[in-house]
Structure formats: structure tokens, C-alpha cells
Amino acid sequence: MSPIAIILINRISPVSLKDFSYEKCNPIATATQKCHSRKIPFIRVRIPFVSRSYSSRFWSQITALSLTLGMVSLGAIEPVWAQEERTRTLTVSGQATVEVPTSLTQVSLGIEVQGRTAEEVQQEVARRSQTLVDLLRSRNVEKLQTTGVNLYPLYNSDGNPPRITGYTASNIVSFRMATERAGSLLDEAVSAGATRIDGISFVATDEAIEIARQQALRNATQDAQTQADTVLATLNLTRREIVNVQISSSTPAPQPLMGTMQRGVASFEDASTVLVGGEQQVYAYVTLVIGY
């Protein structure tokens, strides 16, 4: 809002007016800086003639009104001045990575059966799956769930057209447990009827990941501040307040180790049933907008 000048003019003494102007200086301006000038639009109010008996009271009321309007109008000068003095900003982005040891193993096991009829293979898969699930529950594994159920026909490719020669059915379950116990449990799972390992991955606990995320955010913030201080110091500038902050973090899912077991004989490349987990990475990113 622009300030407005209120001009009171007696009708018997008209005057010719031009736009008024005001001059405003920055309180912290140096001697080499110039003041800002701005024109003020005015409102010309023509006052009718009044008798002497009412003139004193009348002009007192008019004076109070004009002062009130003037104070309201001129109060808009400071916001205008603040807009002209926009803070200069520097935007910097910091990042950090924290590695946290994995202590849990995520395992995906499957039972696969082939037979002449769909009913036969499905019943056999269901029986073996129940035995495997009972074993896993007795070992107090975490997050046990069924992740796949499959049934599909087998064809003889020699014939024309191909004919069905049998069926294959499979059930897949996944679970999580402590890494130091995972190797021995895999051996037990094979004895219980598991014929496939569809994947193994090593993960950290939720608590460990959260602690690592907080540390990564602290490190990323310090990285961003160090970058800002380096740039501003090189330019002989002083850092002021932080105007804006944006953060983000991520914990990529660990890549599973793929392997298979067929007919109850384990074949997991060259790995033994002693499983050793690694480390999981947690990333954090912080963007700072800093005034100077």
C-alpha cells in the first residue's frame, strides 16, 4: 500500500498542487548510499465555508481526521521499504552417508513339487508347506508370511499340438531372523521339505536405522554449513540467519543374494550355511538457504 497525503483546501482559497514526495533513508546506510525518494499521491479535500462560531470546533475535527488518515497512510511506508531491502541468500546442499551393521537376515524359501495331476501336486505342496511353517514358528522367526503360490502345467514339446504331461506347484514363504541363527535354520528348512531359496538379504534393525538416519542428518547439516562458510569467507561476506531448511533421507533396500535348492540338496553358489551380514547405508540430504 502506498502512502497518501491529505490536503485540506478552503473553498475560498484554492491552490494548485503537485504530487508530494517523501524521502526515506536506510537507518544503517553508509555515507555513500543514497536515500530513496517516492512520490505520494494526494487527496484534495475542499472545505465549505463555515461561520466563525463553528470554525474552531470544525477545524479541530478536521485536523484530527487528517492526522488519523495520514498516520494510517504513512504506516505503509515501512513495508514498502522492507520489500526494497530483500535479503541476499545463498543456497547450499549437504549430504552424508552413515553405515550401520546388519544384524537380521531376510530369507525367502520355497517348496516346489511336480506330479501327474494338479490335485496331487497341490496337496503335496500344502503338506510340506505346513511342516515348514510349523518349524519356522517354533524358531520364533519374525515377519513370517506367504509371498507366492503357483500352479502351472508341464507340456510335452515333441507333440503337435503340445500336450500336458504333468503339473508343478510351489509355495513361497519369507521371514526374518537374527543372522547368527539363520545358517542353521536353513539346514533345518531343507530337512523340513524346502527345495528353493529365492533370496537372502541382510538388514539392520529399525532402531539402528533410525539412529543412523539422525546421525546422517546431523552430518549433512554440518556439511552444508561448512560449504556456506567457505564460500562467504572467500567473498568477505558474513553469514546471517537461515531463511529456509529442506531435508530428506533414504535407506535403500539391500540387494538380495540369489540362490536355489533343488531336491533337498543346497546349492547357494560357494556359500556355506554360516551366513555373515554386512553393512547397510543410510543417506541424508539437507538444503539450507542462508542470508548474508
Q: What gap in Å lies between CA 23 and CA 37, rounded to an integer?
A: 5
Question: What does the pLDDT look like over 92-120, one tens digit per residue?
Answer: 999 999 999 999 999 999 999 999 999 99
Q: Which one has a higher pLDDT value, 171 or 251?
A: 171
How many domains, the chain? 3
Quote the pTM value: 0.58
pLDDT at 104: 94
Question: What does the pLDDT look like over 56-105, one tens digit per residue?
Answer: 665 566 666 555 555 555 555 555 545 546 779 999 999 999 999 999 99
Q: What is the percent of the chain where pLDDT is above 70?
A: 64
Mean pLDDT, residues 202-220: 95
Check pLDDT > 80 for residue 125.
yes
Q: Among 84, 114, 130, identify where a domain stops.
A: 84
Question: What does the pLDDT look like over 128-186, one tens digit per residue?
Answer: 999 999 999 999 999 999 999 999 999 987 767 888 999 999 999 999 999 999 999 99
Find the CATH number of the domain harbouring 122.
3.30.70.2970
Q: Please report which confidence band the pLDDT of residue 206 belongs to, taking 50, 70 and 90 as the band edges.
A: very high
Same domain, 187 and 240: no
Same domain, 114 and 162: yes
Same domain, 162 and 266: yes
Same domain, 231 and 270: no
Extract the C-alpha cell encoding 252.
Answer: 535403500
Question: What does the pLDDT look like over 266-283, one tens digit per residue?
Answer: 444 444 577 888 899 999
Q: What gap in Å lies between CA 183 and CA 146, rounded to an integer?
A: 21
161 prior amide bond cis, ω within 30: yes
Same domain, 165 and 261: yes
Same domain, 153 and 269: yes
Q: What is the percent of the chain where pLDDT is above 90?
A: 55
Same domain, 10 and 42: yes
Instruction: Locate all alpha helices (DSSP H) within the chain, ordered by sequence.
Output: 52-74, 77-84, 118-138, 179-191, 206-234
Using an 8 Å Cβ cutoff, are 202 and 179 in contact? yes
Same domain, 268 and 143: yes
Same domain, 214 and 244: yes
pLDDT at 32: 42
Q: Which domain holds residue 186?
A: 103-203+254-277
Extract the C-alpha cell encoding 81.
Answer: 521499504
Q: Which one has a higher pLDDT value, 49 or 120?
A: 120
Q: How do strand 89-101 and strand 279-291 relate by DSSP bridges?
A: antiparallel
Same domain, 95 and 114: no
Name the average pLDDT for the chain: 78
pLDDT at 276: 82
Same domain, 25 and 60: yes
User: What's phi and psi for 132, nearest 5 deg?
Assistant: -65, -40
Closest CA to 131 of 43, 57, 192: 192
Same domain, 196 and 147: yes
Taking residue 230's Cβ as centre, other Cβ atoms within 10 Å add up to 11
Q: How do strand 20-24 and strand 36-40 relate by DSSP bridges?
A: antiparallel
Q: What gap in Å lies between CA 54 and CA 161, rounded to an integer?
A: 117
